[in-house]
Structure 1
Amino acid sequence: MGRTGGVPDKLERYRSKRDAQRTPEPVPDVSPPSSEGNAFVIQEHHARSLHWDLRLERDGVLVSWAVPKGLPADPGTNHLAVHTEDHPMEYLTFHGEIPKGEYGGGSMTVWDTGTYETEKWSDREVKFVLHGGRASGRFVLFQTRGKNWMIHRMDAPARDPFPPLDPMLPTSRAKPPRDASPYAFEFAWGGRRLLVPIDGGRTTAAREHPWLRDLAESFGSRTAVLDGELATLGGAEILLFYDLLYDDGRSLTGEPYTVRRAALEALELTGGHWQTAPSWPGEAEAVRRAAREQGLPGVVAKRMDSAYEAGPSKSWLFVPS
């Protein structure tokens, strides 16, 4: 149904892209009535490529933009926002699996929902204030060319800057510390150090290691900087993570090792190419003996009260096996 009472059907384009018999998405068969609501929804959409769909209620429909990197976290960075077709109001709560091969095929979840205030709305510029559970603040969408727009954050939220990507390095000594109780002991894997920054479901480390795209995408909109080591185990290359420098907008470099380690373990990082490296508080000789038996170069003793500091540090000690 293209028109009702001579009024253009705002969902005509939406319907033309979908088959109600093949997708679980809402496909209403009548033109939506006009409304004055101010709801919004942001959906995390794992389609051909990860993106977030921002939808603002306007005159009975959800005016929509696909934002590949999600909402910008600060005013210093603008993100691409691709203007898509208007969606029905039922999309405020839609989540599910759109079948492969259908338009937008992939998993969709509700990332946030709430209300918004309109400061300006024109064909080329939309200024608004979000009031959601996860997303809040002042934003502006502005058209650049055709369906391509940009989204800019107009206020500055409380978010720590990313730490410098310089690893903390152990100093060497011949024997473990006499008192092992202040230390956690980890294997020295003999691999190559790799820090992995994740932002907007993407990581620059994937340029060299494309398989890291899957890890970054699994983080969704969560920001992180992971510290680990590329090692060869059983003939396969695996990335072993043993520290977390940044988590969801907060720098952890000033926190003690125990806090960083607990936050890292809470991420439950397990995949075909990566996992969380084990750590044993206070167990110097047993870990050193296990390293020797496995042909590893040694162990690293890490003071459990130490902050993360770039470069060589006496808080981390390499002890050969």
Structure 2
Amino acid sequence: MTPDERGPDDDGKDGGPLAEYRGRRDARRTPEPVPDGEALPRGDDDTFVVQEHHARSLHWDLRLERDGVLVSWAVPKGLPWSPETNHLAVHTEDHPLEYATFEGEIPHGEYGAGKMIIWDRGTYETEKWSEREVKIVIHGSRVSGRYVLFRTRGRNWMIHRMDPPADPGAEPLPETLRPMRAVERRRLPRDPDAWGFEFAWGGRRTAAYVEGGRTRFTDARGRAVDGPGGLGSRLGAQLGARPALLDGELATVGGREIYILYDVLHLDGRPLLDVPYRERRDALDGLGLSGSLWQTAPWFPADGEAVRTAAAEQNLPGVLAKRLDSPYEPGEESDAWRFIPTR
């Protein structure tokens, strides 16, 4: 039987069930646990852990204690929250039980290089365990319920949630959404205390749909477009398992193109279109999204004159005034958002 054909019950007789794990790692170079002995500890076969693995491609590792090892699957999009969607789960080498508590940075150049974070852990019960199907009941702090893993081909499996949705009120991200547009005005609003003010960056309007660590983009007309190289995967990695729909634009700042974020329209399964602008901005700021290819734009309640002066000094095209109590109106040009040129 080749390594790619091993099922979760294979005991790795050609060196023990941890032979492949040890063969991929050098204990002198990685902080991961690499036990020396061949004897395996025996637990109650009820420990599970899900680790968020920021490797070359972000994924989540599901590990189940079985016969003294952690039987493991890499799940690129994380565990499904609803029975309507199955997720790919790639069976990987067995890990030692000590890995259930491992968090740390696997060095560059080593197998699985990148940050490993415990996303959830707890206990599980086995309903069925065979080479082609594993049925379990998970009891964690972030994920609980009945799941089945079933083998499709080689190391490729699928994972399916057997219980109803973990969050019945959650809604999926929309397939596409046209952005809200501002009307042009020559003067700042007369009641500045009712408005928030942002810089107008003069870039290309772009929405980002982030889910399962992956990102897709649409343009000002709601059409699918490619983002700059590396932006989608790196932005998705920062949000991790949190689904979000972000509004922003691709603009040239300091001589390089970056993604400027200034609104969040859907977060953690909840549409935010009817939520006031002030609350959406607070939610966006709370995400702490900042990286080399993206930045969360600043905003300034009730301070339009100062923002307009700063925009003119930086040779920006203008200022956006947005009513603090305004909802988001997809595809509409609304007086609740106003573009005021600097010239």
Matched letter for residue 175 of structure 1: R
Matched, 1:112 2:111: no
- Which one of 66, 76, 86 corresponds to residue 78 of structure 1? 86
> Is the contact made by 2:81 and 2:161 (CA closer than 8 Å) also made in structure 1?
yes
Tell me whether 190-199 or 242-251 shows the greater mean CA deviation: 242-251
> Corresponding residue for 1:221?
241
Displacement after TM superposition at 1:201 (Å): 1.3
- Which one of 3, 9, 14 corresponds to residue 16 of structure 2? 9
- Which one of 58, 61, 72 corresponds to residue 53 of structure 1? 61
Displacement after TM superposition at 1:33 (Å): 4.4
Matched, 1:171 2:183: yes
Return the TM-score normalized by structure 1: 0.91
C-alpha separation in 2, matches of 1:233 and 1:21 = 43
> Corresponding residue for 2:200?
188
Q: For 1:102-132, what per-residue CA distance to the aligned partner results, in whole angstroms no more than 9, with x for missing partners?
A: 3222221111101112222221111222211
Change in Cα spacing, 1:82 to 1:318, as seen in structure 2 (3 Å) is same
Matched letter for residue 21 of structure 2: Y
Moved over 6 A (4+): none
- Which one of 211, 227, 235 corresponds to residue 199 of structure 1? 211
C-alpha separation in 1, matches of 2:226 and 2:116 = 26
**What are structure 1's unaligned runs of at least 5 residues?**
none
C-alpha separation in 2, matches of 1:291 and 1:105 = 42
> Is the contact made by 2:135 and 2:147 (CA closer than 8 Å) also made in structure 1?
yes
C-alpha separation in 1, matches of 2:255 and 2:179 = 26
> Corresponding residue for 1:161?
172
Displacement after TM superposition at 1:148 (Å): 0.6
Change in Cα spacing, 1:287 to 1:48, as seen in structure 2 (3 Å) is closer
Matched letter for residue 254 of structure 1: D
C-alpha separation in 2, matches of 1:301 and 1:17 = 56
C-alpha separation in 2, matches of 1:95 and 1:234 = 37
Pairwise CA RMSD = 2.2
Q: For 1:246-289, what per-residue CA distance to the aligned partner results, in whole angstroms no more than 9, with x for missing partners?
A: 22333222211111111111222222222111211112222223
- Which one of 301, 304, 308 corresponds to residue 284 of structure 1? 304
Q: For 1:158-193, what per-residue CA distance to the aligned partner results, in whole angstroms no more than 9, with x for missing partners?
A: 222214432111123332222111110112222111
C-alpha separation in 1, matches of 2:108 and 2:258 = 30
Q: How many residues align?
A: 317
- The alignment-based identity, stated in percent, is 61
> Is the contact made by 1:9 and 1:31 (CA closer than 8 Å) also made in structure 2?
no
Return the TM-score normalized by structure 2: 0.85
**What are structure 2's unaligned runs of at least 5 residues?**
1-10, 218-224
Change in Cα spacing, 1:290 to 1:121, as seen in structure 2 (3 Å) is same
Q: For 1:1-44, what per-residue CA distance to the aligned partner results, in whole angstroms no more than 9, with x for missing partners?
A: xxx9x998322332232233332222221221444331100111
